[in-house]
Amino acid sequence: MTNWKELNKDLNELLQLDSRIIAVKRMVRKEELGDIPGVEKPETAFTFCQLPYLVRKQGKTIGITKDDAKPLAEKMQLKYRCLRVQGLAPANEEQIDNEAKGFAGFWFNDYETAKKAVGSYPVPSAIEALAMSPLDEEKFEPEYLLIYANGGQMTLLMNGLQYYEYERVESSFSGEGSCTDALPRCVATGKPSLCLPCLGERSFGQLNDDEMVIALPAGRLERIIQGLKAMKKTGLAYPIAHQEPGMDVTPLFTTWYPIQDR
């Protein structure tokens, strides 16, 4: 297995992250949860927005299935919305209709607008269980990672990703749903997905106003760290140094970008 603990340590030293990196594993069969040491189920009715906080701040290893969402799903119009976007419940017409009715007049003006929004979400492959754990605990071999960071940290993280092998990082905002703009979009596309967290995750997941989240295939982490280490040698590192807005930038820019065609 990859030395995730060492990679986790390197990234934290380079970016000074305020919360733990989340390792994610999607499972076709829910019985696979039993192979993960120390896995816990949510103790009460929950929304997906709450789960990353339990991992990144409280260090829990969380495993969920569709059955775990019944206590809340049976009491609200949205039904299994939080889990269907993860592939844990069917994205059928009945479910889409329930979500659109729930969002109409609340997040969107009317049913038609709401249905257009909820029908636009990426559809990841179907699974029976999903587990999240702090990466440094190495409870399982992760498929995906969720990294929470402020704007400066996230900028350098993406620069590190691009240093040795260019890859355009795209962001998505589908409305009330960082639970769909981050991990499900990454799963569906196989590419990193930068997300501006929604009100739900900022409220129930206790994100600060300056925090964002990126979901990425776990294999990208080593490349990010290699890129960040190379950039640090040139002086590009976190925290990002602030320069006087009125200064003459000529000495700095001629150092960074010296003329090569002489």
Strand-pair partners of 217: 144
For the segment 123-175, what is each residue's pLDDT rounded down to a tens digit? 899 999 999 999 999 999 999 999 999 999 999 999 999 999 999 999 988 88
Residue 262 confidence (pLDDT) above 80: no
In the chain, the N- to C-terminal Cα span, in Å, equals: 49
> Does residue 111 or residue 199 have the better pLDDT?
111
113-128 confidence digits (pLDDT tens): 999 999 999 989 999 9
In the predicted structure, residue 65 carries a pLDDT above the cut 90 = yes
pLDDT at 176: 73
Instruction: Provide the number of structural domains found in the chain.
Output: 1
- Structural domain containing residue 187: 4-234
Give the separation between CA 24 and CA 215, rounded to whole angstroms.
Answer: 10
Q: Is residue 98 part of a domain?
A: yes
In a domain, 240, yes or no: no
Query: Is pLDDT above 80 for 178?
Result: no
Q: Is residue 253 part of a domain?
A: no
Backbone angles phi, psi at 215, to 5 degrees: -105, 135
The pLDDT of residue 175:
80
- Lowest model confidence (mean pLDDT) among 22-26, 156-160, 256-260: 256-260
Instruction: Identify whether 245 is part of a domain.
Output: no
Q: Identify the CA nearest to 235 among candidates 260, 220, 210, 253.
A: 253
Rg over alpha carbons for the chain, rounded to the nearest Å, is 20
Name the nearest CA neighbour of 55 among 143, 136, 133, 145: 133
CA pair distance 225, 12, nearest whole angstrom: 10
In a domain, 243, yes or no: no
Kindly state the tokens that stand for 130. Answer: 């999903």
Torsional class of 241: left (φ above 0), alpha (ψ -120 to 50), beta (otherwise): beta
In a domain, 262, yes or no: no
Residue 43 has a pLDDT of 85
**pLDDT higher than threshold 80 for residue 9:** yes
- Tokens found for residue 261: 């065609």
Cβ proximity of 182 and 85 under 8 Å: no
Q: Which 3 state secondary structure label does DSSP give 170? A: strand
The pLDDT tens digits for 83-94 are 999 999 999 999
Q: What is the pLDDT of residues 235-254, one digit of tens each?
A: 999 999 888 999 999 998 99
Residue 74 in domain: yes
CA distance 207 to 116: 27
Interval 74-85: pLDDT, tens? 999 999 999 999
In a domain? residue 221: yes
Helix (H), strand (E) at residue 193: strand 193-195
pLDDT digits (tens, 9 = 90+) for 182-230: 999 999 999 999 999 888 899 998 999 999 999 999 999 999 999 999 9
Among 12, 2, 23, 14, CA closest to 137: 23
- pLDDT (0 to 100) of residue 199: 87
Helix or strand (DSSP H, E) at 114: helix 111-118
